[in-house]
Structure 1
Amino acid sequence: MTDDGHHRPDAVVPAAGQQLLAERFARGQVTDLRHALAACAEAAGLRDQRLDDFVLAVNELITNAVRHGGGAGVLRLWRAGGTLVCEVSDGGAGIGAERLANHERPAPDVAGGWGLWLAGQLSDSMQVATGPAGTTVRISTMLNGVHGRLADADTAGAVERVE
C-alpha cells in the first residue's frame, strides 16, 4: 500500500519463469529497448510474424509508459514454459475505467487510443493493473501455435482491470 491508501501494481516475475530481460527505461531508450526485446524474444523461440507482432505490442506499451505514465518505466520479459510474457510498468496516474472498458477499435482518424488496443490484438493475453500510483500491463504469447487474439474474434480486445 502507498501512503494514499491505493495499491501500487507490482511487477513480479514468477519463480518458475526464466527471466530474459529486466530494464528500466526512459524516453531516449525506447528504440534500444525494442531491439533488445526483439533479440531476446527471438532467442526464446518466437519467430516470423508472431515475433513482429509481439515486439510491436510491447513497443506500444513502452511508448504509452513514456507518453502517459510519467516518462519512464520498467520492462520485464520472461519465458514460462511455452509462453513468452512481458510486463511494462510505469508510475503515472493510472488509466481511467472508461478507457479500459472500451474494447472497440479506435477510429482510423483518431490519433490516440491505439496502444492498448493494439497490444491486446497482437498478444494472446493481456492484463492491466492500474491505479493512481501507476499501471502495469502484462501481455503474453505462446511460442508455438496459432496467434490467439487475431485468430479468435470472441476474445479480441479483452482487457482485465485489476486494482
Structure 2
Amino acid sequence: MVAANELLTNAVRHGGGQGHVALWQEDGFVVCEVSDHGDGLPEPRPTPPPRPATDQTGGWGLWLAGELTDELHLTTGAAGTTVRISSRTS
C-alpha cells in the first residue's frame, strides 16, 4: 500500500493533478499500475531508481516503490509516465 500511495502521490503532484490506477492479480503477483499525462521524467532515468541523498526532502517516491516491491517498470515520455509495480502474493 505504501508503494502504491507513493506512485499515486507522484502522479497527482507531477502529472498535472490527475492520475489513473489499475490493480490486478496475475501469475502469483499483485500488480499496480499508475499513469499520468504530465510532461514525463527527465532522461536518462536509471532503473532501479537511485536512493536520494538523506538530506533530500523530495524524490523518494520511485525509490521507495522499488524497494518495497519485487518489480518496478517505468515508461515515460512527453505524453506522460506509467509506473507498474508488482509483488509476489505467496
Please say whether Structure 1 and Structure 2 have the same fold, judged by a TM-score greater than 0.5.
Answer: yes
Q: Which residue of 1 aligns with 2:2?
A: 56
Higher relative contact order (CA closer than 8 Å, sequence separation 6+) = 2
- Offset of 1:81 from its aligned partner? 2.5
Q: Which structure has more helix as a fraction of its residues?
A: 1
Greater Cα radius of gyration, structure 1 or 2: 1
- Equivalenced residues, count: 89
Counterpart CA distance in 1 for 2:50 and 2:41 is: 16
Cα deviation, residue 107, structure 1: 1.2
In structure 2, how many angstroms separate the alpha carbons of the residues matched to 1:104 and 1:93? 21
Matches within 5 A, 1:35-54: none
Matched to 2:84, the amino acid is R
Q: Which residue of 2 aligns with 1:109?
A: 55
In structure 2, how many angstroms separate the alpha carbons of the residues matched to 1:111 and 1:121?
18
The root-mean-square deviation of aligned C-alpha atoms, in Å, is: 1.2
Q: Name the counterpart of 1:88.
A: 34
Which residue identity does 2:5 align to in structure 1? N
TM-score, normalised with respect to structure 2: 0.93
Counterpart for residue 17 of structure 2: 71
* One-letter amino acid of the counterpart of residue 108, structure 1: T
Specify the alignment match of 2:88 in structure 1. Answer: 142
Secondary structure, counterpart of 1:97 in structure 2: coil
Which segment drifts farther, 73-82 or 102-111?
A: 102-111
Q: Hey, what does 1:131 align to over in structure 2?
A: 77
CA offset digits 1:62-89 (Å, max 9, x no partner):
0000100111111000001211000000
Structure 1 position 109, deviation (Å): 1.2
